[in-house]
Structures are given as C-alpha cells and as structure tokens.
Amino acid sequence: MSELPGQDLIEAGIAAIMADEVTVEALLVRMVRGRLARADYWTVPCDHEVELGASRDLYELLGEEYGNDAHHRYNVLLRRALSFCQAVEWERASRMAGGS
C-alpha cells in the first residue's frame, strides 16, 4: 500500500496503543477504529469504555496544548483520520473488484 493521507497519524496511533500510551494519535485511532476494522486495515484492541471517552479525551488533550485553537486542531486531525479511512476503504474495494 502506498502512503495514504493521514497514514502517519494512524500508524503513530497504533504504535502508541500497542505501547499502552495515551497520545493524540492513539485517541484518534480509537475514534475511527470501527472503520479501520471494517476496512480490514487493523483491529485495534480497545476497551469499550476507553472508546466512548476517546473523543472527549482527545479534545481535552488538545485543549491543554492548543488552548482556544483546540477545536480547529481537533477537526483537522479528525478529517485527516477519516480521509485515511476513506482511502483504505477505496483501496480495499478496488482490490476486491480485481483492480490494482
């Protein structure tokens, strides 16, 4: 698979989850883990309660670092993660349809 938009965030998030770290990227991956699993990219081991709080925790973590710009940063990161999910879904559908 070639480099996809947002792949750096997702890979950093997966690495952080595997290392049992709470980072911006890890929380972002937890937020989109359902789409990652449905696209057969990676099944993220996740406690359901952690999943439910990921969005709130991400916003709070960004608030500590970015203050009033947290909302903008949150939206930018989420768009990048969703863009990655969409690209992975497209590549998977293309492979299943016999494309390259």
* Per-residue pLDDT tens listing for the chain (100 residues): 568 989 999 999 999 999 999 999 999 999 998 889 888 898 866 655 556 689 999 999 999 999 999 999 999 999 999 999 999 999 888 888 986 5
Domain borders along the chain are 7-96
User: Could you give the C-alpha distances from 64 to 2, 7, 18, 56, in angstroms and in order?
Assistant: 34, 24, 24, 13
The set of residues, in sequence order, having a beta carbon less than 8 Å from that of 17 and lying 6+ positions away, is 26, 29, 30, 44, 45, 46
Q: What is the pLDDT of residue 48?
A: 54
Q: What is the pTM of this model?
A: 0.86
Q: What is the pLDDT of residue 27?
A: 95
Contact indicator for 41, 88 with CB cutoff of 8 Å = yes
**Residue bearing tokens 């990048």:** 80
What span, in angstroms and rounded, lies between the C-alpha atoms of 29 and 32?
Answer: 5
